[in-house]
């Protein structure tokens, strides 16, 4: 507000009243000056002319310290400035990134051999010490990291300059997958010691394909291509990330040419953008998997397997996908999504039939259906209402109860397993591309969100979580999915597409996890 004083003639003698009233006008002029000054600070035109890709997603990163964030929006930005040890390729397999190879040397040790000659943007060498430092920093409570994937890691040892051993408390078969995103980022130890955490978050330094340029919170984050990247220089010269919280702002940005590519759109948001000239909308099979959790632990109709099967028959998932999701999703037969390790293509989805559902309900003693509640976060209101309508067709009266996202997530993770009522709608992003990630918190009887207890299922989960042999794990997953298909402890719904809306400039395809790694992107000038 010091501008106010610039508009005022500083007068040692006391100004007269009239004088003050007159300068009031000047003062107000000065007040509105900053608004006019920023008006010409736009760079969109320059970006359009250059080889710059402008990407927009639903939000802004929370922080640029990669170990102090745990949300996809932040990770999508940071993956361009930082490298991880492993990466998930378009073929859904793990590929080398900063680690060239890895193997389990014994039940509780994973050995990683690192890529030689990698340096951080500031020239610091990225070696085994940097990797060990990064993992130790993530696990240090003082870091307050919200990243939970490395829960079984208990220590790291540097074997030699390019080899590290990661020690776990139990065998963790999917550790290399967990190091392909949040858990596997490598940060520069010497630089961090020099500048401290706060300065590092203000100006991140990684080994990634782009270097940090500037960040105006909630407006735009700019990066430049890193010519010295070990994988060669990216095709685009610059990368700009900006937040567009809703469909209308995305549309406005795409139409005005301020943005080339919008990611993270929900299917109904994408439908709003459909049909505008110059905008194409592509859906790619994703990994975010939606399901209804059924509480079988409380007395009620849901304890009967036939009732649970009836719900699965009643909910016509393909119709739901077509009607509510604009076709931008794929039916998921038994919780584990297509494309992730452990998916068994021989397990078929339920036949969709209201008659079968009614027959099963009658057999279970509910010839006239029953009443229940379906709880969901209010961001999923449309899907929840549609589900309720489909259930009504079979005589099940499911009242929809919508909660704000904060309350919803608090109840989801509370120790009271009935906190979200008898039926709730949930979704999980299986970014490790391993079935364990979606099964782990929902099924085994000692886990917080498990609402169906089966000794057989617990045995199979132990087999898939702890076996060292991938074939054994795969078998356990198959058996588990067949068991769940039979017992129907959930209503299995769909895996949602990664939806990209773009103009005609960019050429880029997302992987199944939908991570916005733009190293491979190209733009036409």
Partner 1 sequence: MSALTLDKPPTPADTPTRRTDRTGPLRGVLRRLLTALFVLFCTATVAFFLVRLSGDPVKILLPPDATAEQEQVLRHSLGLDQSLFAQYLDYLRGLLHLDFGDSLVYGQPVSEILADRLPATIELAAAALAVTLVIAIPAGILAAMRRGRGTDKTVMTGVLLGQSTPPFWVGILLILVFAVWLRALPASGYGTLANLVLPAVTLAVYSVAVVARLLRSSLIDVLSSDHIRSARAKGFGPLQVVLRHGLRNASLPVVTVVGLEVGNLLGGAILTERVFSWPGVGQLTVEAISNRDFPLVQATVLFFAATFVVVNLLVDLSYSFLDPRVRTSR
Contact between 196 and partner 1 by CB under 8 A: the answer reads: no
Q: Please state, in angstroms and as integers, the Cα–Cα distance from residue 471 to each residue in 163, 457, 468, 478, following that order.
A: 27, 18, 9, 11
Nearer residue to partner 1 within complex by CB, 426 or 491: 426
Here the tokens at position 397 are: 């009266």
Least separation in angstroms between residue 34's CB and partner 1 is 5
Least separation in angstroms between residue 211's CB and partner 1 is 21
Least separation in angstroms between residue 380's CB and partner 1 is 15
> H-helix or E-strand containing 508?
none
Q: How far apart are CA 343 and CA 438, in angstroms?
A: 12
Contact between 367 and partner 1 by CB under 8 A: the answer reads: no
Contact between 415 and partner 1 by CB under 8 A: the answer reads: yes
> H-helix or E-strand containing 510?
none
Phi, psi of 262, rounded to the nearest 5 degrees: -115, 125
* DSSP secondary structure, 136-166, as one string: HHHH-GGG-----TTTTEEEEEEEETTEEEE
Give the one residue of 101, 169, 409, 509 binding partner 1; rule: CB under 8 A: 409
Residues in the chain: 525
Region 446-505 residues binding partner 1, contact defined as CB under 8 A: 448-449
Give the one residue of 8, 62, 111, 338 binding partner 1; rule: CB under 8 A: 62
| Interface segment toward partner 1; rule CB under 8 A; list 98-106, 232-240, 253-261, 385-393 | 253-261
| Interface segment toward partner 1; rule CB under 8 A; list 16-24, 78-86, 156-164, 511-519 | 16-24
Give the one residue of 68, 178, 222, 366 binding partner 1; rule: CB under 8 A: 68
Least separation in angstroms between residue 48's CB and partner 1 is 14
Size of the site for partner 1 (CB under 8 A): 63
Nearer residue to partner 1 within complex by CB, 244 or 347: 244
Q: Can you list the pairs that 215-222 forms with residues at least 24 positions away whose Cβ atoms lie under 8 Å?
A: 215/64, 217/60, 218/60, 218/243, 221/60, 221/61, 221/77
* Three-class HEC string of 222-263: EEEECCCCCCCCCCCCEEEEEECCCHHHHHHHHHCCCCCEEE
The closest of 339, 441, 448 to 89, measured between CA atoms, is 339
Binding site for partner 1 (CB under 8 A): 1, 17-18, 20-21, 24, 28, 31-36, 38-42, 62-63, 65, 68, 70, 141-142, 144, 146, 148, 151, 197-198, 201, 216-219, 243-246, 248-249, 252-253, 256, 258, 404-407, 409-410, 412-415, 426, 428, 437, 440-441, 448-449
């Amino acid at each position: 507000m010091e501008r106010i004083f610039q508009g005022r003639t500083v007068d040692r003698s006391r100004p007269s009243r009239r004088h003050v009233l007159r300068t009031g006008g000047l003062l107000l002029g000065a007040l509105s000056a900053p608004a006019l000054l920023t008006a010409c600070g736009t760079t969109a035109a320059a970006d359009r002319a250059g080889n710059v890709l402008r990407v927009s997603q639903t939000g802004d990163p929370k922080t640029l310290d990669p170990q102090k964030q745990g949300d996809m929006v932040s990770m999508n930005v940071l993956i361009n400035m930082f490298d991880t040890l492993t990466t998930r390729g378009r073929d859904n397999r793990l590929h080398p990134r900063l680690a060239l190879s890895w193997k389990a040397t014994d039940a509780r040790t994973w050995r990683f051999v690192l890529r030689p000659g990698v340096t951080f943007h500031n020239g610091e060498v990225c070696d085994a010490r940097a990797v060990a430092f990064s993992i130790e920093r993530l696990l240090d409570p003082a870091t307050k990291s919200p990243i939970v994937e490395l829960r079984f890691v208990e220590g790291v040892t540097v074997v030699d300059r390019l080899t590290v051993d990661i020690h776990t408390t139990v065998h963790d078969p999917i550790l290399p997958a967990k190091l392909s995103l949040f858990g596997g980022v490598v940060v520069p130890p010497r630089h961090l010691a020099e500048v401290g955490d706060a300065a590092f978050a203000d100006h991140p330094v990684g080994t990634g394909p782009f270097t940090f340029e500037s960040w105006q919170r909630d407006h735009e984050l700019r990066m430049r291509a890193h010519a010295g990247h070990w994988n060669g220089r990216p095709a685009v010269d610059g990368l700009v990330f900006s937040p567009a919280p809703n469909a209308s702002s995305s549309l406005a940005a795409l139409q005005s040419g301020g943005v080339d590519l919008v990611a993270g759109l929900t299917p109904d948001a994408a439908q709003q953008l459909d049909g505008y000239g110059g905008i194409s909308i592509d859906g790619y099979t994703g990994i975010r998997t939606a399901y209804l959790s059924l509480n079988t632990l409380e007395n009620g109709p849901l304890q009967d397997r036939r009732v649970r099967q009836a719900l699965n028959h009643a909910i016509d998932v393909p119709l739901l996908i077509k009607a509510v999701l604009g076709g931008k999703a794929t039916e998921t037969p038994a919780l584990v999504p297509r494309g992730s390790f452990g998916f068994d293509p021989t397990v078929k989805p339920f036949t969709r039939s209201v008659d079968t559902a009614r027959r099963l309900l009658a057999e279970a003693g509910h010839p006239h259906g029953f009443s229940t509640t379906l709880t969901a976060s209010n961001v999923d209101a449309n899907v929840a209402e549609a589900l309720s309508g489909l259930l009504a067709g079979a005589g099940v009266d499911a009242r929809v109860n919508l909660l704000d996202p904060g309350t919803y997530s608090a109840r989801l993770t509370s120790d009271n397993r009935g906190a979200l009522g008898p039926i709730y709608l949930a979704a999980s992003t299986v970014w490790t591309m391993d079935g364990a990630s979606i099964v782990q918190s929902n099924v085994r009887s000692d886990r917080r969100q498990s609402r169906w207890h089966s000794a057989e299922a617990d045995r199979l989960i132990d087999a898939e979580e702890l076996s060292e042999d991938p074939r054994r794990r795969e078998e356990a997953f198959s058996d588990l999915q067949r068991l769940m298909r039979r017992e129907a402890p959930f209503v299995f719904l769909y895996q949602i597409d990664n939806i990209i809306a773009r103009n005609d400039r960019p050429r880029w395809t997302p992987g199944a996890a939908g991570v916005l790694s733009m190293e491979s992107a190209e733009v036409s000038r």
